[in-house]
Structure 1
């Protein structure tokens, strides 16, 4: 059974381009063997991520994330059984909160800043789906 987990968190000790690169490289190395796919979006201190895969693998990864001291305020925004993956071609795609995405943030929320904590699951999923159209699978993250 496939599930999609969408969650948000805040960086515990600030965020850097190197931290994002480390997360992406680790995800892209480890996720294929676990059957996981997904997308990560972040800004200066906020992460939002959708993960897809087998329920047991998603649950195990979430439990590891809950103990990861690089972030805090881990909040499940959506958890659902799915029939089809949205992010099947990425072990982990990345969408930065760059200036070009601010219009999308405003489309789905009350602000032009990424704030998944103030958005509904439907809004977050819509935003991630639109961001996925221009996401890169690996690049040099720029933190705005």
Structure 2
């Protein structure tokens, strides 16, 4: 078996991101959500993700913004985030290995956990607010 190289260039990030989102788009659970949300804006999303991962892994300021708000209203829960991580790790492990590869998987896992936690928090807060308004 050939030895895989670590993520080390922008081209590696593009390969990682493109292959990951190709797999997401085909996934029965995640594909419909992403395809509905992004529709014909996939090229812009992929460009944003290249910058995001450049910033995360290479400490290059290629991304500015707040990644959580676009995800806040998506119809997702822990099952979706678990599947996202499964696809991410499987995809990346087929392409790369090394310290930055492990960093990418750790960062993705942490983001999925945080996004899921925040989405649940906001949904619970909104439900509590709705319930308190309904009470006489």
Q: Please indicate the TM-score interval, normalised by the length of the shorter structure.
A: 0.3 to 0.5
User: Which structure is higher in helix share?
Assistant: 2
User: Which structure is higher in strand share?
Assistant: 1
What TM-score results when the alignment is normalised by the length of structure 1?
0.33
Return the index of the structure with the highest Cα Rg: 2
What TM-score results when the alignment is normalised by the length of structure 2?
0.35
